[in-house]
Amino acid sequence: MDDNKSSDSKFNPDFMMECAQSLKGVCEELDKRKFEKMKTDTNLFLGTIQTVPIIMSLAIEIALKAWLIREQEKNSFPHIHDLVELFDRLKPTTKETLEVRMRNLSPDTFWGDQPSLINVDPDFQEMLGATMDPLRKVLDAHRNAEMHFRNLYEKEGISFDKSEMDSALTVIIDAYWEKRGA
């Protein structure tokens, strides 16, 4: 089976990025309302817990595919949903641009850029919260969030860090529009 969508289809990466932004906005609204309704509407609360990770994962997938279409100057994208696999298909310069933005956005990764940590054992760096690839780590931690949360009722003890995913999506979207304007 072909790894790409039909070349007959027209994909507009800017429109795809706008869709990703729209889904991000939906997640923000649902998340705000979740705690308002927690005491009065348990179904809305539980539905939000299940829905936000799925929508956030979809938004990141769409945003990464928009990047891929623009970079490859093709009208197709890989028919995969794994966030890390999509990220790994980006050009190395794009991945580094996104990682730098994520390091700057994430206070926990500040130490990753410190010269004194460059030759320190990676396990020790990680223990200190230092990482040079925080975006990839977030995508890896949530690479299949859509699948996990789709059947939430089958699992116990599953968690989701919306702030991490929100930061990752913000980095991907903002960098896209900045480069688009250049």
Tens-place pLDDT, residues 13-53: 999 999 999 999 999 988 888 777 777 888 887 788 888 88
Q: Are 20 and 60 in contact (CB under 8 A)?
A: yes
Residues 6+ apart with CB under 8 A from 161: 141, 142
Checking if the pLDDT of 152 tops 70, the result is no
Checking if the pLDDT of 66 tops 80, the result is yes
Checking if the pLDDT of 164 tops 90, the result is no
| 66: nearest Cα among 58, 53, 77, 81 | 77
